[in-house]
Amino acid sequence: MFPRNAWYVACYPSEVQDKPLGRRICNEKMVFYRDRDGKVRALEDFCPHRGAPLSLGFVRDGNLVCGYHGLEMGCDGKTVSMPEQRVRGFPCIRSFAVEERYGFVWVWPGEQALADPAKIEHLEWAVNPQWAYGGGLYHINCEYRLMIDNLMDLTHETYVHATSIGQKEIDESPVNTRVEGDCVITERHMENIIAPPFWQGAMRANDLDPSQPVDRWQICRFTPPSHVMIEVGVALAGNGGYHADPKFKASSVVVDFITPETDTSHWYFWGMARNFKADDPEVTEQIRKGQGAVFAEDREMLERQQANILEYPQRKLLMLNIDAGGVQSRRIIDRILAREKSEA
């Protein structure tokens, strides 16, 4: 169902501070905690003694202590000690490769020996001070590929997000999809339109007159295993649209890291990176709130869609040209899955 030998976002660093965090990722129950040096570690969330979740325990001197009978676990998955016991023969539990980078904690659910941190995609907006990022996390009861479909076909904005980013010009404008290696790009450009409410707010925040007509763009990029970055924005009409000088623009990157939890649920790390008013935390908060409301609308649609599909598994679904972005992304995932299977 999902590639395993890949880096996925596991959590925000703020989620693993003093207490361990239990989270299922790619069907693996994991526990995240910080060792003595503050480095994030991940182990199977299963105590070798009686199977209690280690995430219910605590961290002592950089080791994870089981909250049931006090077994102390090392970051390599070997038991260090247990009150009144000799632990040498205790079975090992799995450990996972973890990396904290770009404001996220990444985990590699597959074979640890293959986990090369250099394979984490470079995120310019996360390291460049001219950019600001705000975001959140939703748990969504649908398989991760339905979310990829959703983000690789933004015609749904007209209907699902009618009061914020939707407008009729979206589904009246043709979409263009192409594949470059393992990357799928699907884009749409709209000219000389009035910006919808969300973008009027962004224009105001960037000192542009929101009543003026704009050119608007959406450029969605899928990269494996399940990342979708979407360049979105508006520019005062007639100044070159996407290529307009920054002074005419309000633009940003919608950041979507989609981490499978089970076969029918995922963790959705959503956010927005922008390079205007980057030093203004109020703008970050305003955008974050707006975006949180927009993605809650997707969550409802996707969870109900998943429930329908589970109830009627024999029904065949259609594939129209607006679905090309999702279809091509699924092809790339299938190719990776086939490769992993043949290597295993």
Q: Which of 40, 59, 66, 98 binds ligand FES (CB under 6 A)?
A: 66
By CB under 6 A, tell whether 47 contacts ligand FES.
yes
Q: Which of 19, 24, 29, 49 binds ligand FES (CB under 6 A)?
A: 49
- Decide whether 91 or 174 has the Cβ nearer to ligand FES: 91
- Decide whether 47 or 203 has the Cβ nearer to ligand FES: 47
Please give the C-alpha separations between residue 278 and each of 128, 135, 180, 290, 327, in angstroms, as whole numbers.
10, 14, 31, 17, 35
Positions 69 through 88 that interact with ligand FES (CB under 6 A): 69-71
SS3 228: strand
Q: Closest approach of Cβ 202 to Fe ion, in Å? A: 17
SS3 307: helix
Query: Which of ligand FES, Fe ion, none is residue 242 near (CB under 5 to 8 Å by kind)?
Result: none
Query: Which of ligand FES, Fe ion, none is residue 137 near (CB under 5 to 8 Å by kind)?
Result: none
By CB under 6 A, tell whether 50 contacts ligand FES.
yes
By CB under 5 A, tell whether 99 contacts Fe ion.
no
- Rounded to the nearest 10 degrees, the angle between the axes of helix 144-151 and helix 324-343 is 140
Compute the distance between CA of residue 83 and CA of residue 90 in angstroms, rounded to an integer: 14
Compute the distance between CA of residue 146 and CA of residue 100 in angstroms, rounded to an integer: 27
Please name which of 333, 273, 328, 238 lies closest in space to residue 135, comparing C-alpha atoms. Answer: 273
Per-residue x/- track, 279-298, Fe ion (CB under 5 A): -------------------x
Please name which of 172, 136, 177 lies closest in space to residue 153, comparing C-alpha atoms. Answer: 177
How many other CB atoms sit within 10 Å of the CB of residue 129? 7
Among all chains, which residue has been given the structure tokens 């927009």?
Answer: 294
Q: Closest approach of Cβ 295 to Fe ion, in Å? A: 7
Where along the sequence are the contacts to Fe ion (CB under 5 A)?
298
Where along the sequence are the contacts to ligand FES (CB under 6 A)?
47, 49-50, 52, 66, 68-71
